[in-house]
Chains A and B, each alone.
Chain A
Amino acid sequence: MPLTFHIPGPLREFTSGRSAVTIEPSPATLAEALSALWKLFPGLRGRILTEQGQVREHVNIFIGDEDVRYTGGLTSHISAGSEVSIVPAISGG
């Protein structure tokens, strides 16, 4: 089963304008899935993770409707057919 990433507008400059990226087969964890995404579009990594490999403070990642901060972070399990959304947090001035 494939896995689909939803890419927010500001990051589409790194995905040739794609709003969604589907990879197949779906990896088992979020870390592996993101790793596959970086290989396709290397510019995404530094925008989503800090240099220490943590998800940036104002970036939220959802698997389906679940914020991965509450499901194990990058080790979160991904079930087949999942949709992963990368969303900037609502904050700032």
Chain B
Amino acid sequence: MIGQVLGHCRVQAKIGEGGMGVVYRAYDEALQRDVAVKVVKKDARLGSSGSQDLLHEARASSSLSHPNICTIHDVGETEGELYIVMELVEGKSLHEMCRDAGLPPETVIRCGVQIAGALVRAHDRGIIHRDLKTSNIVVTPDGLVKVLDFGLAKQVGDRDASFEGPTRTFETMQTSSTFSGTLAYMSPEVLRGEATDYRSDLWALGVVLYEAASGRPPFGGRTGFELSSAIMREIPKPLGPPVPPGLWAIIQRCLSKEPAQRYQRAGEVLAALEAIQGAAVFATTPNSDRAEPPTMAHHSVRHARVRRGDFLLLIGTTKGAFILRSNVNRSRWEVGGPYFHGHAVYALAYDNRADQHRIWASTASFWGTMLRSSDDFGRIWTNPQEAAIRFPADTGLSLKNIWQISLGRAGEPSTLYCGVEPAALFESHDDGETWSLVRGLFDHPHRPRWVPGNGGLALHTIVLDPADKQRMYVAISAGGVYRTNDSGRTWSAQNCGIRAMFVPGKYPEFGQCVHKIAMHPARPERLFLQNHWGLYRSDDSSENWKDIANGVPSDFGFAMTMHPQNPDCVYIVPVESDQFRCSCDGRLRVYRTRNSGASWEPLARGLPQKQAYETVLRDAMTADSLDPAGFYFGTRSGQLFGSCDEGKTWNKILEGLPAIVCVRSAFIEDGFGHSIATPRVAPQPPPSSRSKSRAASPSRRHSRQKKR
């Protein structure tokens, strides 16, 4: 089996064996991540219908998404074998942790809360575990509990197809000692062959908690018969100090022989455990090892199942983020999310440098603004204890929002930039681990005279010159365009020829409310600019700007996107005026120039042309890197539109989202470093490095996982 490929997973090493099959560590070559693969011999204990049942159950369980449930990624069948691909969880089983003397009560309660939380989620989805035991529960070094083997659970609901207790129980008792562990967790009703439900899992939870607290199971016996008899008739030996009476009471109630006497719902056990947990009193000089794991998984969120060759849209809204998956046809979409419920996500970026698939997201809420990332398309996100982007003490400022996340140039695979509010630029040269304020811009004498636009005082656009590694442009509302030619040490205002309608002198040195700037990497000396009133082009690296609003219904607008292949081609979505920031005449139209602004043409086929008072915000439009190029934009009313033919025709992809503030695209390369469509330049964010250092990448990935 070692070296064999199942699906897209290459089997690497055996890591365990259980009653159902053998578990291997494997590497998912498509998504480039470590996984565990459980291989079940079809003839081991399953007939052909049993195989189908198992596949069905594993598929059902793969819908479970919870931080305390080991995620099932995929199931499949090869000759003679079924396999289940799941999250690789590294840690110790609860069985190993407690087998000598039991664990401290606080640890038992902490684990119990997480196990009960996992059961709440599964039971809510109609899935019972059926095989909950301490050896199926793994605790990671961070203290995160993962319940394994929901692949053996079964959908409840159809009474005829409900729990196969009698048959399977009898088989397992007869045929395999590996199931004797399982027997110890079976409830009296399972042993009696009666219909069972969620409450059998609550019994098993009672056994798990008893064992975790004392190091021994509540019932014993030298044979399966004695053990079954004890489970059905005996009262477990009471647990005294250090087990607190509250915990013992919860365990006792879980271990009521009659299901009706137990808790009726996992949520009740969870609440009871939380209540005694909340009652714990901490000394004001605490232990130092109580830190929570700095990651978050999303509860009750549907995830897009991303495979190689897929195409993604990353959507940021004022109330969370979404990840949409399609293939290169870009016609049918699977929606993942919402991620970060209630948080505004103004910036997203896909980072595939150094063989990774990382999504960056900024999240802003009452509780502050964070830069986060996910290496598995949204299942797990970093959740830093402390924000890495923060203003130094001497500035007296506090971060309000992150408006832009930009990747470094080719050859700068560890570099990232963030444009933030209040207007400032931050940079990182270590994959986003640490960030520093770009002082050259922050200390610019103009800064005290920048004024907030409607959206706040934000540095919202970063454009790197791909040819000149010391040159970079930023756009600030309302400060204007600034350029550095020396890697950020000094900056100059670059607004010559750009109007500012809201000051008496219409052409000030700075203070313009620029909404977006765009550059095609093939012509780095030329920039396009959408202003708060005004469309401009510069042919001399922003020294001078020329009005190019030739034939647009309004030169007011926000979004501006380059065609990925044609440096003369730019897309905008005009709005009527600063007073009425909606599409002109109630007709939603994208405008395109193919001659660098000498003329513009409307692109409206497929877009609403009656009573469509829409606004497309500055980062809510993007292009993809495919050929012919696709374009996508979202509206403040939560509609998402896309075109696969360079804007000739548009389709509504989704509606009903919260206000869309950011749209980005990502193409998941087909295999290793080879894109099935030639990766061209994505104009926003700036072109990511395609340089690969495969030898270096695994260690990067692993070191990051450890840090989490």
Which residues of A are interface residues toward B (Cβ below 8 A)? 2, 10-11, 13-25, 27, 36, 39-43, 45-48, 50-52, 54, 56, 58-59, 88-89, 92-93
Contact = CB atoms under 8 A, between A and B. Distances in A.
B98 to A, nearest CB: 18
B161 interface: no
A43 B294 contact: yes
B277 A16 contact: yes
B398 A50 contact: yes
Contacts of B397: 52
A56 B383 contact: no
B283 A24 contact: yes
Contacts of B368: 46-47, 50, 56
B398 A51 contact: yes
B113 interface: yes
Nearest to A33: B284
B398 A54 contact: yes
Nearest to A36: B284
Closest 6 CB pairs of A and B: A50-B398, A51-B390, A47-B367, A58-B366, A20-B278, A43-B385
Contacts of B282: 21-24, 40
B44 interface: no
B286 A59 contact: no
Contacts of A15: 292
B398 A17 contact: no
A47 B383 CA distance: 11
Contact of B399 (A14, A19, A39, A51): A51
Contact of A39 (B113, B286, B383, B384): B286
B73 to A, nearest CB: 24
A22 B286 contact: no
B1 interface: no
B296 interface: yes
A19 B113 CA distance: 13
Interface in B292-317: 292, 294, 296
Nearest to B342: A10
A58 B387 CA distance: 18
B283 A23 contact: yes
Contacts of A51: 387, 390-391, 393, 398-399
B158 interface: no
A39 B288 CA distance: 7
Select the residue from A42, A45, A46 with max chain B CB neighbours within 10 A. A46
A42 B286 CA distance: 12
B386 interface: yes
A89 B366 contact: yes
Given A10-B365, A27-B284, A51-B390, 9 more contacts: A16-B277, A41-B292, A43-B292, A43-B385, A43-B386, A51-B399, A52-B398, A54-B398, A56-B367
A56 B366 contact: yes
Contact of B366 (A2, A18, A92): A92
Contacts of A27: 284
Contacts of B284: 23-25, 27, 36
18 contacts: A2-B281, A10-B365, A10-B367, A13-B296, A13-B383, A16-B113, A16-B292, A17-B113, A17-B277, A24-B284, A36-B284, A41-B292, A43-B385, A46-B384, A46-B386, A50-B398, A52-B397, A52-B398
Contact of A59 (B294, B366, B383): B366
Nearest to A93: B318
Nearest to A14: B292
A40 B290 contact: yes
By DSSP majority rule, is chain B's interface helix, strand, loop, or mixed? loop
B395 to A, nearest CB: 8
A6 to B, nearest CB: 10
B503 interface: no
A87 to B, nearest CB: 10
A35 B567 CA distance: 55
Interface string B255-289: 00000000000000000001001111111101010
A22 B279 CA distance: 7
Interface in B350-388: 365-368, 383-387
A33 to B, nearest CB: 9
B286 A40 contact: yes
Contacts of A25: 284
Contacts of A17: 113, 117, 274, 277
A14 B390 CA distance: 20
A50 to B, nearest CB: 4
B389 to A, nearest CB: 9
Nearest to B117: A17
A46 B391 contact: no
Interface in B172-195: none
Contact of A18 (B277, B291, B391): B277
Given A23-B284, A40-B282, A52 B396 contact: yes
A45 B386 contact: yes
A52 B87 CA distance: 39
A88 B366 contact: yes
B92 interface: no
Given A23-B284, A24-B282, A47-B367, A41 B383 contact: no
Nearest to B392: A51
